């Protein structure tokens, strides 16, 4: 399986993984089991997705049935915004491991560079963005404190690799000034409408691997009413023409456009056929002209912006 070698540990991260956001909880265990059966080795979860227990059940069944060994899987999870304080990071990572039924994460990421007021897991889990009264409550925990606690997870072997998500260039450069363990991975929204070339270049220069999320652009955001009425990338004539030229689907072309430039992808699907189709996206090559044509669709259109929830969360301003 094609992979990216992570700086620091030298561990191989599969280039194509399976994303777990909005994977239906009731069928999540079966979906994860099927994903592993069809060849996925990377699972991208998060406390916020509310399906870690079910994902872990799928993993346990796959291991029990001999489909895979734990060490052949690459399991990613993420620290939610309400647990940024030093004293909460480890507690939560251990809580999440327990949900998954595993004893280490291959990769643990800070989900957003946003610190929200602590919420006890007994009170509400996952806590999401809002307090009980529907308002957003910030907490003054600087990223340096959270990163030091992430480094402690790494030292304890709870997370083999640690990384960041939704960080901008300025924040990454600042983090690099104090980090004793550098982030192995940066996970960002990345698709032809949001190519983020300067950020991609910076991460490459710093030796931080990039994982693209929401590779299909607006597609994922329709069901949560966040698609900004954008034209679907899968229907865009540039993408469909290139797909038919290769005898591939638009989804496969969108994934290949990223992986061919060394960017890992984690497509999500609740459908077994589409899940399989997405995994088989690296057995063809786009020409440099085709890559250029797809990249030219960029117009800095971002779908996942916490600033839309509350202006005090404008991390991309
Ligand atoms: N770090 C972060 O802040 C962050 C944010 C968002 C996402 N992520 C991660 O990235 C993963 C992927 O991103 P995403 O879930 O937003 O979106 P995505 O993978 O770009 O798109 C998923 C959408 O595309 C559809 N789809 C999947 N395969 C398809 C195919 N072959 N043909 C046509 N439609 C297809 C899915 O519907 P069906 O399910 O019906 O197939 C779903 O509506 C997430 O699951 C999560 O793990 C991380």
Q: Which residue's CA is the closest to the ligand 1 atom numbered 16?
A: 214
Distance of CA 217 from the midpoint of ligand 1 (Å): 9
What distance in Å separates the CA atoms of residue 59 and residue 56, rounded to the nearest whole number? 5
What distance in Å separates the CA atoms of residue 258 and residue 196, rounded to the nearest whole number? 12
Candidate from 129, 269, 276, 304 with most ligand 1 atoms within 8 A of CB, to mutate:
269
Q: Which residue's CA is the closest to the ligand 1 atom numbered 14?
A: 214
What distance in Å separates the CA atoms of residue 268 and residue 213, rounded to the nearest whole number? 9
Torsion on CA atoms 195, 263, 212, 117, rounded to nearest 10? -110
- Taking the alpha carbons at both ends of the chain, their separation in whole angstroms is 38
pLDDT digits (tens, 9 = 90+) for 125-180: 999 999 999 999 999 999 999 999 999 999 999 999 999 999 999 999 999 999 99
What is the predicted pLDDT for the residue at 167? 98
Is 49 a known active-site residue? yes
What is the predicted pLDDT for the residue at 268? 98
Candidate from 14, 16, 19 with most ligand 1 atoms within 8 A of CB, to mutate:
19
Instruction: Please report the sign of the dihedral spanned by the C-alpha atoms of residue 287, residue 2, residue 195, residue 21.
Output: positive
Give the annotated binding-site residues for substrate.
Answer: 111
User: What is the number of the ligand 1 atom nearest to the C-alpha of 269?
Assistant: 39
Q: How many CB atoms lie within 10 A of CB 285?
A: 11
Q: Residue written as tokens 């991609």? A: 200
User: What structural domains and CATH numbers belong to the chain?
Assistant: 3-313 (3.20.20.100)
What distance in Å separates the CA atoms of residue 54 and residue 133, rounded to the nearest whole number? 29
Distance of CA 220 from the midpoint of ligand 1 (Å): 5
Beta bridge partners of 189: 213
User: Strand 159-165 relative to strand 185-189: parallel, antiparallel, unpaired?
Assistant: parallel
Local structure of 46: helix, strand or coil: coil
What is the predicted pLDDT for the residue at 190? 98
CB 22 within 8 A of CB 223: yes
Residues of the chain falling short of pLDDT 50: none
What is the predicted pLDDT for the residue at 198? 98
Q: Which residues line ligand 1 (CB under 6 A)?
A: 19-22, 44, 111, 165-166, 187, 213-216, 219-220, 234, 249, 251, 266-271, 274, 277-278, 304
What is the predicted pLDDT for the residue at 1? 85
């Amino acid at each position: 399986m094609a992979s990216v070698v992570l700086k620091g540990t030298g561990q191989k991260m599969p280039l194509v993984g399976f994303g777990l956001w909005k994977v239906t909880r009731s069928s999540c265990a079966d979906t994860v089991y099927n994903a592993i059966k069809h060849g996925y080795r990377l699972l991208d979860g998060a406390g916020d997705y509310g399906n870690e227990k079910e994902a872990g059940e799928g993993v346990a069944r796959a291991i029990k049935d001999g489909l895979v060994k734990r060490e052949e899987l690459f399991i990613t999870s993420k620290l939610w915004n309400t647990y940024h304080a030093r004293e909460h990071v480890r507690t939560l990572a251990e809580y999440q491991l327990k949900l998954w039924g595993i004893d280490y994460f291959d990769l643990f990421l800070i989900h957003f560079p946003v610190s929200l007021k602590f919420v006890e897991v007994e009170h509400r889990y996952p806590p999401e963005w809002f307090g009980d009264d529907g308002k957003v409550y910030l907490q003054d925990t600087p990223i340096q404190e959270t990163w030091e606690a992430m480094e402690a997870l790494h030292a304890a072997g709870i997370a083999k690799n640690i990384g960041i998500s939704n960080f901008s260039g300025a924040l990454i450069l600042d983090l690099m000034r104090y980090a004793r363990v550098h982030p192995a991975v940066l996970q960002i929204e990345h698709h032809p409408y949001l190519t983020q070339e300067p950020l991609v270049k910076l991460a490459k220069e710093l030796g931080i691997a990039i994982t693209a999320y929401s590779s299909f652009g607006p597609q994922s955001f329709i069901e949560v009413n966040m698609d900004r009425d954008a034209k679907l990338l899968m229907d865009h004539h540039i993408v469909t023409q290139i797909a038919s030229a290769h005898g591939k689907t638009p989804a496969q072309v969108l994934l290949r456009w990223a992986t061919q430039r060394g960017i890992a992808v984690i497509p999500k699907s609740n459908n077994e056929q589409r899940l399989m189709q997405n995994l088989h996206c690296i057995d063809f090559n786009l020409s440099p002209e085709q890559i250029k044509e797809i990249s030219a669709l960029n117009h800095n259109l971002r779908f996942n912006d916490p600033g839309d929830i509350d202006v005090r969360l404008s991390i991309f301003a």
